[in-house]
Amino acid sequence: MNEGEYLELADQFKNLMDKKDEEINRHYEQIKEIKKIIMMAYSFVRILDELVADDFNQPNILCSLLEVLRGFLSSAIDRFIFNETNNNE
């Protein structure tokens, strides 16, 4: 391999790495946005759960569904945002 071929190969590798870096950065930004959405959804569910818990006229199924959703979102936040793992999983 001569010097020209070596330089061309190095340039191709650099271009490939630049594209991969851009892709990783794009995925990082998408993950950050998804984390924000999960946290906002948890906040809304938590508020709804508190409102429904104070109103005794609500059907039990609504309360149960909100509790399950709140628990699910709480676990998702612990796992994907705070990087905590539950040994029972």
What's the rounded Cα separation, in Å, for the pair 53 and 32? 32
| Domain layout of the chain by residue ranges | 3-81
Residues 76/41, Cβ–Cβ less than 8 Å = no
Q: According to the model, what pLDDT value does residue 13 have?
A: 95
What's the rounded Cα separation, in Å, for the pair 84 and 57? 37
Structure tokens given for 47: 């508020």
What's the rounded Cα separation, in Å, for the pair 63 and 51? 10
Identify the residue whose tokens are 């628990």. 71
Residue 15: pLDDT over 90: yes
Mean pLDDT for the stretch of residues 55-72: 82
Angle between helical axes of 3-54 and 60-76 (0-180°, round to 10)? 150
- Its pTM stands at 0.68
52-62: per-residue pLDDT in tens?
A: 877 777 677 88
Q: Which residue has the higher pLDDT, 87 or 84?
A: 84
